[in-house]
Amino acid sequence: MSEGGASRLPPSLGAQILVGLVSGISLGLTVGEYAAPLKIVGDLFVGLLQMTVLPYIVATLLANVGRLSLVKGRRLITWAIVVWAVLVALGASSLVAMSLAFPDRSTPSFFSAGMAEGRAHFDFLALFVPANIFRSLVDNAIPGVVLFCLFVGAALSGMAEKENALRGLDAVAEVIARVNAFVIQLMPFGVFAIGAAAAGTMTVEEFGRLRGYLLVFTLSSAVLSFWILPALVAATTPFTYREIFRASRAALLTAFATGKVLVVLPMLVESTRAMFEEKGLEDGDTGPSIDVLYPLIYPFPTLGKLIALLFIPFTAAFVGRALDLWDYPGLMAQGTLSLFGGPILTIPFLLESHQLPADMFQLFLVSGVVTSRLGDILGVMNLVAFTVITTCALTGSLRLRWHALTVALGVGALLIAVASGGSRVWLELRKGDYSRDAVVAGMHIMDAAILVDAAILEAPSPNPVPLAEGASRLERIRERGALRVGFNDDNLPYAFRNGRGDLVGLDIEMAHRLASDLGVSLELVPFERETLARQIEKDHFDIAMSGLIGTIERSQRMRLSRPYLQATLSLVVADHHARALDTYSEIVEVELLRIGILTESQFAKELRVRLPAAETVLVPSTQWFFDGAHDLDGLLLSAEAGAAWTMLHPSYQVVVPMPRRVSMPLVYAMPARDGEFAVFVDTWISLQQGMGRVDGLYEYWILGEGTETVEPRWSILRNVLQLVE
């Protein structure tokens, strides 16, 4: 959270925040889901917190960088940058190692719009180099804003007449700090609302996962604060491990108690100067160096802030999309510069950058009551390490002892490895079993009111009542009292067998509704993809309804209805192949690419156009691809269908490897020469779409909304006092 205005906070604010959190959690546990409306209050508070951060960064960075030359000049800046970069690199390496403690949770989900867009690729040049600074400010692109401020501040530092500008910037920062201080006074109420909403709506499982984040965060901050940083100082300066802790002990305790690092800066300046005096290292440069280094480094991202980035890999693992190792350089680069704005701006920005749920930020705020105190301890130790090492470098007292440095880093690496590995084992044991396949297996016809008597034929056969030349198909359907519908049950989520063996799916439900609207029963006739056209010509069924993609070839042999949905081209690939195949620039580089196709569809043609070097192989069925032994790199499916299949086979995932989204219409197929029936079906589809019925089925069968039974959240009001049902 922003430190602006922290010096004006009453000493009791930390206790008030803790009371607010405990009270909020208690209320949430008492009333359960009835606390959900308080989320609006929490969101309002978060918005107020974020309101002042970016203006504060601009004003303080410009002022601090602009006045640097008044004190030290180029040598101080050079050493400060070097030491800061080394400490950040050391901390980032430790965080990457610790983030491996979060176990991979292979949890494919239902189709989503983000899945159809593929993996987002951010323009790092635009992110870090603000061609339009006003756009960067509007978009909260903190790295670009920071770079702009550093350049402008450097230019300001070289001006002869800059005192008026610096005083103006200080005044702006002071005003913003006052506003922020007022907002922070409301923090007990904001945390109360956030805690109540979270406790009232989060499941026990979600709280359990947050426990894993708290464990990893605590171990990371402890190893960095109490070994790596002080041992690094001891190995590179004349000071011992004990002397460093003795000088920083009071500041560590104060920062932990108050929850603010800014309030201990004067204390750190005095204790550090005393430490140099005791060693006899005080000279004319030592005092000014210490005086300026603490306030200089304070606005910059330190390990106390950097450790907050652990929340991003935690969230990725939480939602089943664990980060790969090559994701971390970008995360650390984005996060380090973004942290000039503090975690309040950085975490939402990074969640959006990595396509992670924005609602997870509420969890971050709730956990922050604990983690922010640990981060403050680490932040204080980072300030001490930076100032002591940089001051020793400036005064010529830097003492690099390689043996001690090797021991410090070696023991630190061992502690990180043990902490990360132990946490991983502990979290793996509590990860829980994969259960999304049971969700798919339990899906059923959503609207039981439209179910009609349905007979499922074991083998295809022509209609027992042949259609006479010139006769009306609609009349035959009504006279027989039965609508014959072709289906292919290898077509999730449009037509498939659920866990009870029932034939279900979006199109099966549409078939029941069509028969219900006609007032007839249903006869379901199986078809294969390669025999569809022939079976229609031989009058095996009146209409085929099984997630058929409209193609030119099909339109030449049968009558296609108007589209009722759109399907998105995608590939289903094994998890270990996904990273190399999920973008167009990567997939075109793959040699000997072999893709399975179910039929010679328009998707297959489009794939060959976009990937001419790829080999397409006709496969007998979707299930064969998942069950059979083959050397295929992927299966061509719509993203909507692929998402459902990966829930049954969680070791696979959906990728959209095209440079832009490619969609094809889903249609129903009918005999080519029956215009009357086709017009009727088109009209019926329009009515279903207009009344929202197709959207409702899409939400259930494709998006998965309402597929899982959500039990009422445990609460004292319901489960103990039994005052509500």
pLDDT at residue 255, rounded to an integer: 72
Has residue 286 got a pLDDT over 70?
A: no
Higher pLDDT, 113 or 502: 502
pLDDT at residue 203, rounded to an integer: 66
pLDDT at residue 60, rounded to an integer: 72
Helices 402-429, 229-236: axis angle to 10 degrees equals 170
Q: What percent of the chain has pLDDT over 90?
A: 33
If you search the block for the tokens 């039929």, which residue do you land on? 599
Contact in structure between 284 and 298 (CB atoms under 8 Å):
no
| pLDDT digit string, tens, across residues 261-279 | 766 777 787 888 888 888 8
Has residue 8 got a pLDDT over 50?
A: no
- The mean pLDDT value for 647-670 works out to 87
Has residue 380 got a pLDDT over 70?
A: yes
Higher pLDDT, 300 or 471: 471
| pLDDT digit string, tens, across residues 331-342 | 888 888 778 767
Helix (H) / strand (E) containing 207: helix 204-223
pLDDT level of residue 1 (50, 70, 90 thresholds):
very low
pLDDT at residue 511, rounded to an integer: 97
Q: Identify which of 629, 613, 72, 53 has the alpha carbon closest to the alpha carbon of residue 296.
A: 72
Does the N-terminal peptide bond of residue 493 adopt cis geometry, omega within 30 degrees of 0? Answer: yes
pLDDT at residue 465, rounded to an integer: 94
pLDDT at residue 10, rounded to an integer: 46
- The mean pLDDT value for 650-673 works out to 87
Has residue 646 got a pLDDT over 70?
A: yes
- The mean pLDDT value for 224-240 works out to 93
- The mean pLDDT value for 62-73 works out to 64
Q: What is the pTM of this model?
A: 0.65
| pLDDT digit string, tens, across residues 504-562 | 999 999 999 999 999 999 999 999 988 999 999 999 999 999 999 998 888 999 999 99
pLDDT at residue 4, rounded to an integer: 40
Has residue 422 got a pLDDT over 80?
A: yes
Higher pLDDT, 52 or 555: 555
pLDDT at residue 428, rounded to an integer: 79
| pLDDT digit string, tens, across residues 205-229 | 666 667 888 899 999 999 999 999 9
| pLDDT digit string, tens, across residues 680-693 | 999 999 999 999 99
pLDDT at residue 395, rounded to an integer: 81
Structural domains of the chain in order of their starting residue, each with its CATH number: 6-436 (1.10.3860), 439-563+668-702 (3.40.190.10), 567-665 (3.40.190.10)
Burial class (CB in 10 A: 0-12, 13-18, 19+), 647: buried
pLDDT level of residue 587 (50, 70, 90 thresholds):
confident
CA 103 to chain centre: 15
Please tell me the distance from the alpha carbon of residue 627 to that of residue 38, in angstroms, as a whole number. Answer: 48
